[in-house]
Amino acid sequence: MGSTDAGSEQSANPSQSICVGCGLCCDGTLLSHLAVSDESDLGMPLRAMGVSLLFAADPPVFELPCPAVETGVCTIHHLHRPHACSLYECALSRSVIAGDVDADTARAIITTTLATRRRVGEGGAGPEELESLLDTHFRGSI
Ligand code: SF4
Ligand code: SF4
């Protein structure tokens, strides 16, 4: 989601460029749900992909992984996305914006995290190793 988007946009803003190819906040790794205000906020592109809202929550949410994320990139970025997608910033993204972490370091952290997730999936690492990286770099506050 990035400083501007769940996992996926590129511009002159360094905090945005680190999101390209990450997508950890879109694919269910970092977050389990995203809140929206209503169906129109969810938008047609996601509805067409079969995403529906869970109205038991207040505000309503939709479940992640989002079907629009592919290899860490939001495939509907040029179309309508929920407002939350354009607002979300993980701790790493905020650190880059604040100038506390440079973009190359942030990308290295993302690469390590993605590799760890892959190893967890293959049984070569425990889930606690991934959770530790997520807690330290993505969920922490600056
Ligand atoms: S987890 Fe952070 S760095 Fe990765 S796409 Fe989301 S906002 Fe960007
Ligand atoms: S629509 Fe889906 S893939 Fe795109 S930014 Fe939002 S959560 Fe991420």
- Number of the ligand 1 atom closest to the C-alpha atom of 89: 7
pLDDT tens digits for range 51-84 = 999 988 899 999 999 999 999 999 999 999 999 9
Q: Which two tokens stand for residue 55?
A: 């109205």
Output the 3-class SS for 67-95. Answer: CCEECCEECCCCCCCCHHHHHCCCHHHHH
CA-nearest residue for atom 3, ligand 1, is 19
Distance of CA 101 from the midpoint of ligand 2 (Å): 24
pLDDT of residue 15: 53
Query: What ligand has the least distance to the C-alpha of 69?
Result: 2
Q: Is 137 in the pocket of ligand 2 (CB under 6 A)?
A: no
pLDDT tens digits for range 86-140 = 999 999 999 999 999 999 999 999 999 999 999 999 999 999 999 999 999 999 7
The answer to whether residues 3 and 15 touch, using CB atoms and an 8 Å cutoff, is yes
Spans of all domains in the chain: 2-139
